[in-house]
Structure 1
Amino acid sequence: MGQQPIIRTGLLIGALALISYGIFQPVEADTRWLICLWLAAPLLGLAAWMVYPAPPAGLARTVYHVGLIILLGFGLLSLQLLRQQFVKADAIYNYVAVGPDGSTTSNVRPVLSSQRVLRGQIVDRNGVVLADSQSVNGFARRTYPVADRYDPAAFSNILGFFSTRYGQSGLESTYSAYLTGERGNELQRLQEQFVGGERRGNTLVLTINAELQARAAQALAGRAGSIVVLDPRTGAILAMVSQPGFDPRGLSFDPSAASWDAENARVSAYWAQIIADSAGQPLLNRPTQGLYPPGSTFKTLTAIAALAHPGVGQPDSITCPQEYRPDPTAPPVVNAVDNLASLTGDPTNLEKVYAYSCNTAFAQYATRLGPELFAETARQFDIFPPQRANSTYNEFTDLPTATSLLYVNPGFLNLPRGMADTGYGQGQLLVTPLQMAMMTAAIGNEGILMRPYLVQRITRPDGSLIVEQTPRPIRRATSALIAQTMRSNMAAVGSYGFGRVISDYVPGIAVGGKSGTAEHVPGAVPHAWFIALAPLDQPRYAVAVMVESGGEGSSVGARLAGEVLAAAFATE
């Protein structure tokens, strides 16, 4: 009997720990909360049974058991209602579910309730107004002044949409509480309640350069793909292009329309147009939500891993055979270019095999390193095994962002061929263009991985500051010495390797990079990648471009990256 109070207390503590952990889980982790709730149920039931033992066999015992089950069920239901209607009420009210195609499902009520609110402006770093609001017959209409200067579709993946029929997405969703004035404008809201007046939201000042964003979109020229430009020193996003895009004006309801039914029909027709299979998923923000094999751009991480573990990786003791067979029972790893050793030399070193993108060399590096050391380096750059990955990437919260994966199936890196394929950028790798831009930026920032951000500051209608972002490091991903070595390797790509065409676009500026030609669907044209850094002595721009089924990274990708860098320097 003396042990029962201890056991009962332990059961209660365990149940409370599970409930406390689960009840504060984010809305998208409802499954985790329900698992915690159901695991806590038997612990609570057993604790209750120990406090009030069952009566002798008979009707009384049956009634006791039924009553205990009903009481327990009522308690679980109460906890669920407590979470939904109190703890997570605001989060559920404003929650936006993002589908695999980028389409969103959200609660339309907050959108409808803000129809009479002049949502705040969204402006670029130079004050160019991207989105605004105007009052029309007592209602607010979302407008896009950026269309007077640029194609608004070039900004759609960042701005998102604001629709009385289909909710909101992008920054319109993430920062909706600020844009409507619900956050940051508490005094104004009190004044409106007691005195009246027009309600205005707060202004988002972004890190992007609208001119660079527009030029990068023009360079992509309608091809499906992504472009990301980061400031390596701060993590500020200077451009983030996703194509195809959409025109946010098409989903903005116009209260001044002669017929509201006709206006709703117009919005519905445009929605049907952009969600059609033939539209190419314009609602998907490819830089943050697109997951792709990175191809040879990922040799950058393999090179860093070899440099970080020189005793095992032996970076400057390598060969570049036409074929390398890590597993005698599996097909060999093959170079994309015949007789590549005539360019790299044989034996050779890391700079040469990186400049000429030798698959077999990087397959050897990865095999030498093994799964643990390789995965350790990948984690430093926030590329995770699936069992350690969240569904969303929490270091960038301005827009919905997927987590980059080192592999998909458990044990894949334990297969010799799986390890070798991953080393040269294939295997089961799935990464976002943003993550590759971050890796490039870390090399330019002496090995420090910075937290990317898109919103520089939020200001009230009177111009006073509510909040301002400051540069925040995530961690030191690699040493300053290794980062310097990698800049030299990237310089070799730009000066004499597969990707030297990039230097033609920025004459007189030291630029480096790495191409990638990523196989994805058998028989399909490969994805074209290129990562770039400039100027190499004091990097200000880290670029990642990815063209879906674009062909050769060393040609298509390098030219596109060169055009983007030229635009970046021209718009400084």
Structure 2
Amino acid sequence: MGARFILRNALLVVSLALLGYGIMQPVEADVRWLICLWAAAPLLGVAGWLSQPAPPPGLARSIYNVGLVILLGFGMLSLQLLRQQFVQADAIYNYVAVGADGSTTSNVRPVLDSQRVLRGQIIDQHGTVLADSEAVEGFARRTYPLAESYDIAAFSNILGFFSTRYGQSGLEATYAAYLTGERGNEIQRLQEQFVGGERRGNSLVLTLNAELQARAAQALAGRVGAVVVLDPRSGAVLAMVSQPGFDPRGLSFDPSADDWDAENARVSAYWAQINADSAGQPLLNRSAQGLYPPGSTFKTLTAIAALEHQGAGQADSITCPEEYLPDPSAPPVVNAVPNLSSLTGDPASLEKVYAYSCNTAFAQYAVRLGPELFGDTARQFDIYPPQRAPSTYGEFSDLPTAASLLYVDPGFLNQPRGMADTGYGQGQLLITPLEMAMITAAVANDGVMMRPYLVQKIIRPDGSLIVEQSARPIRRAMSSATAQTMRLNMSAVARYGFGRVVSEYLPDIAVGGKSGTAENMPGSPPHAWFIALAPLDSPRYAVAVMVERGGEGSSVGARLAGEVLAAAFATE
């Protein structure tokens, strides 16, 4: 093996590595790709020259050298075309360049193409068409038949918007490839490309109950907040409300408009309007993305931890003092209601301190458990410390989500007062309403957490099935015995505890629940929370409601949860 052979192979490896690295660079890094291409070119030239036996001197050598240079030039050009036409074709097609002044330049063809595709329908579990498309003068327009019967804003956080100017969100974004027919209907796409014809996407059939969604939004009555209703047996999302919402029609371009400039101005004005509402944030899906202190609803998880770790938690040995001092250097933990021990008894029981929401009792439980055992239980429900938290709640992929956090500052739970505050639902907890619904659903489902899902199936325009989702467990989050005990504890809240208001809405159905009144900012009213499940013996519904700055969870939250549960049974 000669030096010539070794050098040639080394040059080939280095040049191919440069080309492989460069060709995969994003569109924004074209300079990096060109540097790699030009750096690899002479290396390939030398490697090619070394690959051939030395030609005789004279004209033959000159022709060989010129041919090698021409071949190398065509090779570089071919690689550039390969990158543009195949490797980065989609990225270049959809690329938006942003200038120094914030102005944008993009290819207009994707916008025009998207306006010619009749996006598939979005349909609720009963066949109610929520979103559809119609052809108008050679273009497609997104329509919302549900607006004839319901307040369309109540569905906006789920449907999202489709805008040729501002993109898409919600299900319109998550399932865009299916709704446009790019996925799931490849044969028809090929036929359309060669033969032509109307381009129609696939349809989504949801687990959502449109009537329940509308009634839950009505129960919120314009207040800022969220409602989540799950089927605990399957994880199906039956309702997911976030208020305030928006009207997706306001962002949908109407190709039949006489003046397209005026139509674009209308869309821009509505976009500016909803983004100007910094307090309401209509584009935020509070159900799955809103992070809030959960208040006393989180005592549910503390109780589960005490039951699952009996040796440390000692769930059956508890008191409800007026004050509890976990750290002499910090203020004591106090109860929201004075003289609670007259209701809980002394010694008390887990059922009584849960029913009457005794802060000092749950602070004791948390301190007994400590950060490790408490954190282990939290992780069973996908509640993480910040250093381990994913960017989203990965078990729910139908819509954008936020991961729930056990605390914010590193080492917070190592402080006794931090541990105590977390135990009764304050501290630095940041939890989504979806997460609280998932905890409730796990209690309802005998301790097993089911993967939440909103899209039941995807069907082609001819009705044939592409994908169908089914119930899938995530994990067993607690023992069956713990879940049964927690259902009894939640029943006590609704029967005689601080959440008994919820039972007024379901006089003939046994229900379980837990209220939460979550402090947020000094001088601001607390967030009102309530979680509930029903019917108690075989739960079909798990509910979490939250009203921002709404007041007491035992009144405001319980009434809202009661109305939502009543609507769920009425719309079965």
TM-score per shorter chain, which class?
Answer: 0.7 to 0.9
**Which of these two proteins has the greater Rg computed from alpha carbons?**
2
Which amino acid is the alignment partner of residue 141 of structure 2?
A: R
Residue equivalent to 1:41: none
Deviations 1:209-250 (A, max 9, x none): 000000000000010000000000000000000000001111
Residue equivalent to 2:462: 462
Residue equivalent to 2:68: none
CA positional deviation for 1:277: 3.2
- Is 2:125 the partner of 1:125? yes
8 A Cα contact 1:161 1:251, kept in partner: yes
Residue equivalent to 2:157: 157
Residue equivalent to 1:413: 413
CA distance in 1, matches of 2:95, 2:502: 43
8 A Cα contact 1:111 1:167, kept in partner: no
- Is 2:428 the partner of 1:431? no
CA distance in 2, matches of 1:94, 1:537: 54
Deviations 1:157-205 (A, max 9, x none): 0000001111100000000000000000101111111211101000000
Other structure's SS at 1:388 match: coil
Residue equivalent to 2:139: 139
Residue equivalent to 1:170: 170
CA distance change for structure 1 residues 201 and 312 in 2, over 3 Å: closer, same or farther?
same
Which amino acid is the alignment partner of residue 306 of structure 1?
A: A
Equivalent runs, 1:6-45 vs 2, <5 Å = none
Residue equivalent to 1:557: 557
Residue equivalent to 2:238: 238
Equivalent runs, 1:53-452 vs 2, <5 Å = 110-277=110-277, 280-452=280-452
Residue equivalent to 2:63: none
Residue equivalent to 1:482: 482
Which amino acid is the alignment partner of residue 532 of structure 1?
A: A
Other structure's SS at 1:387 match: coil
8 A Cα contact 1:228 1:287, kept in partner: yes
TM-score (norm 2): 0.83
Q: How many residues matched? A: 496
8 A Cα contact 2:114 2:164, kept in partner: no
Residue equivalent to 1:71: none
Unaligned 5+ segments in structure 1 are 1-11, 31-36, 38-80, 97-105
Residue equivalent to 1:544: 544
CA distance in 1, matches of 2:439, 2:339: 30
Other structure's SS at 1:205 match: strand
CA distance in 2, matches of 1:83, 1:342: 76
- Is 2:503 the partner of 1:492? no
Residue equivalent to 1:101: none
CA distance in 2, matches of 1:308, 1:401: 28
Which amino acid is the alignment partner of residue 408 of structure 2?
A: V
CA positional deviation for 1:113: 2.4
Other structure's SS at 2:134 match: strand
Which amino acid is the alignment partner of residue 562 of structure 2?
A: G
CA distance in 2, matches of 1:285, 1:138: 34
Other structure's SS at 2:212 match: helix
CA distance in 2, matches of 1:345, 1:84: 75
Other structure's SS at 2:199 match: coil
8 A Cα contact 1:125 1:206, kept in partner: yes
CA distance change for structure 1 residues 284 and 396 in 2, over 3 Å: closer, same or farther?
same
8 A Cα contact 2:395 2:451, kept in partner: yes
8 A Cα contact 1:456 1:468, kept in partner: yes
CA positional deviation for 1:82: 11
CA distance change for structure 1 residues 416 and 232 in 2, over 3 Å: closer, same or farther?
same
CA positional deviation for 1:86: 7.6
CA distance in 1, matches of 2:108, 2:176: 12
Unaligned 5+ segments in structure 2 are 1-12, 33-80, 97-105
CA distance change for structure 1 residues 93 and 124 in 2, over 3 Å: closer, same or farther?
farther
Residue equivalent to 1:50: none
Greater shift after overlay, 471-480 or 112-121? 112-121
TM-score (norm 1): 0.83
Deviations 1:370-406 (A, max 9, x none): 0000000000011011111111111111111000010
Other structure's SS at 2:421 match: helix
Indicate the RMSD between aligned Cα atoms, in angstroms: 2.8
Which amino acid is the alignment partner of residue 526 of structure 1?
A: P
Residue equivalent to 2:520: 520
